[in-house]
Structure 1
Amino acid sequence: MRASNSLIGAINFLTFLLSIPILGGGIWLSSKANTTDCMRFLQWPLIIIGVSIMVISLAGFAGACYRNTFLLWLYLFAMFFIIAALIGFVIFAYVVTDKGSGRVVMNRAYFDYYLSDYSGWLRDRIDDDSYWAKISSCIRDSKVCGKMVRQYNGVPETADMFYLRKLSPIQSGCCKPPTECGYVYSNETVWNQGAGLMGTNSDCLKWSNDQEQLCYACDSCKAGVLASLKRSWRKVSVINIVVLIILVIVYIIGCAAFRNNRRIDNDEPYGMARMTKAQPSRIHF
């Protein structure tokens, strides 16, 4: 019994440790939401799952220490649904971020982003005018475009230097006009019309050198947010998949240990059925 309880206690302690990277991933997404991504609701399912695993693991650990069968049963029952929720979250994250990526631009190190390359629930949500007003306001308040400005020895960088920069999706989509529009570089966030607009992209008319406007109303900005979300979610999903595999293995071991615990509680020798009797009962008439 002592060995079985020790095993269950160790398993619960391990699941407690596994909740830390899940919770950390949710907190990291939250920090991204407060700075650049600005999608504040997406991190909460991950945070809730991480906290739930942490609480349930502590309950299972207490059950193993005090030989409380109810707490151990509650741990296994709840952990099953938590694992199912984590599987659902990983699948959801990959489905909603499946399509879309940046387009290569000739003679540029950065990519251009187009909303038409994306589809599905997440795009529809971001494309909603009322919701986009909140996201664009968040991006503006984050000063992500203002942070693009660089100087070398007190001299602003040239156009050729800027073209070699690897911009983030939001910097590329929101802080400059699409390359196809033919705007001429003045500095990182000031672009002037050349001989005329070459592109037919509607974003070409939405660009403004007003530092409070820039391309925050552009579809390319929405696409940049989607591309940034895809990067963030994919990074977190890799960690979640690894943790999920370990959780499933630990859960199977926990089930076996719990069954062994109950067998010992019932004084049932290994290999003998619980209902086996030494002699059949007599039949009374």
Structure 2
Amino acid sequence: MFRLSNNLVGILNFITFLLSIPILWAGIWLRNKGVSECEKFFDTPVIILGVFLLAVSLAGLIGACCRVSWLLWVYLLVMFLLIVVLFCFTIFAFVVTNKGAGEVLSGKGYKEYKLGDYSNWLQKRVTSEKNWRKIKSCLIDAKVCNDFQQRYMNDTVQELYTRHLSALQAGCCKPSDDCGFTYRGPSNWEKTPTNATANPDCNAWDNQANVLCFNCNSCKAGLLDNLRSDWKKVAVINIIFLVFLIIVYSVGCCAFRNNRRDNNAYFPGWKHT
């Protein structure tokens, strides 16, 4: 009769195995059917995640239910490495997202975002021309500014100033306030002469829908503000997931000990009980 720990490990890994199938299928679909650079950007990570979950869940399932000790040992080793990696990533996420925030503007419902306010590591990721080209493609495909234009197309400039815009809308879909452009529409501004000390983003602005302020530092800063918020949420979720993994790892250790007892197997470093 199987012991409780073996059954628990088997059940948990069977569920993980079922989850890995749609993840792997989604990655293959993105690789074959993805029409944009943004979609294709995610295919390889998704496929790797699906294959990883599939392999690990099979190792845990077979190792626990069929009492294959060496497979269970591999499963526990991978679980231990995963716990270490997640712990390090969680600490890293809190460190790199600890700096940065939007600047509150007097009389405005939105904030303005400056690239220099965020961590150097994050800045380097978005200022890379290769990385930003892909990110910009994703933002355009997501129609971030199309929705902004349609939603506020009937606003006067004063009404627009009172809107609670997202970081991406404020940074990518309109010029910075200090440019002093003449308002024609939410994403349509008439350029006016600026002095030598003006924000360099002012020269980067263009009314074309696929340009706007996507090449501005304010847009990159807006993205980092979103990323900062998302990473903090991910870090909190990671803490909960880490606790879960540690519990599963502990149960897996019990199942491994059960296998050794049942098979009278010997593994260096493990003491017979």
Q: TM-score, normalised by structure 2?
A: 0.75
Pairing 1:63–2:58 present: no
Distance apart, 1:219 and its partner CA: 0.8
Distance (whole Å) between structure 2 residues aligned to residue 174 and residue 57 of structure 1:
42
Matched with 2:268 is none
Contact 1:181 1:197 in 2 (8 A): no
| SS of corresponding position for 2:184 | strand
> Which of 165, 168, 176 is the aligned partner of 1:167?
165
Contact 2:167 2:226 in 1 (8 A): yes
Matched with 2:83 is 83
| SS of corresponding position for 2:144 | coil
Structure 1 runs not aligned, ≥5 long: 268-272, 276-285
Matched with 1:97 is 97
Q: Deviations over 1:34-53 (max 9, x none)?
A: 9xxx6986897687457524
- How many residues align structurally? 255
Matched with 1:136 is 136
**Paired AA for residue 256 in structure 1:** C
Say if 1:109 and 1:207 are closer, same or farther in 2 by CA, change over 3 A: same
Say if 1:96 and 1:235 are closer, same or farther in 2 by CA, change over 3 A: same
Structure 1 segment 1-285 matched on structure 2, within 5 A: 2-4=1-3, 6-14=4-12, 17=15, 48=48, 51-150=51-150, 156-192=154-190, 200-266=198-264
**Paired AA for residue 244 in structure 2:** I
Distance (whole Å) between structure 2 residues aligned to residue 41 and residue 245 of structure 1:
31
Contact 2:68 2:259 in 1 (8 A): no
Contact 2:167 2:222 in 1 (8 A): yes
Distance apart, 1:124 and its partner CA: 0.9
Contact 1:150 1:157 in 2 (8 A): no
**Paired AA for residue 242 in structure 1:** I
Contact 1:180 1:199 in 2 (8 A): no
Distance apart, 1:225 and its partner CA: 1.7
Distance apart, 1:93 and its partner CA: 3.1
**Paired AA for residue 116 in structure 2:** S
Percent identity, aligned pairs only, is 42
Distance apart, 1:247 and its partner CA: 0.5
| SS of corresponding position for 2:189 | strand
Q: TM-score, normalised by structure 1?
A: 0.73
Say if 1:262 and 1:90 are closer, same or farther in 2 by CA, change over 3 A: same
Q: Deviations over 1:156-209 (max 9, x none)?
A: 123333223222222111111112333343321012357967973222332233
Distance apart, 1:230 and its partner CA: 2.0
Q: Which has the larger radius of gyration?
A: 1
**Paired AA for residue 74 in structure 2:** L
Distance (whole Å) between structure 2 residues aligned to residue 199 and residue 15 of structure 1:
60
Distance (whole Å) between structure 2 residues aligned to residue 151 and residue 76 of structure 1:
52
Over the aligned positions, Cα root-mean-square deviation in angstroms equals: 3.7
Distance (whole Å) between structure 1 residues aligned to residue 209 and residue 84 of structure 2:
46
Say if 1:151 and 1:129 are closer, same or farther in 2 by CA, change over 3 A: closer
Say if 1:181 and 1:43 are closer, same or farther in 2 by CA, change over 3 A: farther
Q: Which structure shows the bigger proportion of residues in helix conformation? A: 2
- Most deviating of 181-190 and 216-225: 181-190
**Paired AA for residue 147 in structure 1:** D
Say if 1:73 and 1:57 are closer, same or farther in 2 by CA, change over 3 A: same
**Paired AA for residue 115 in structure 2:** L
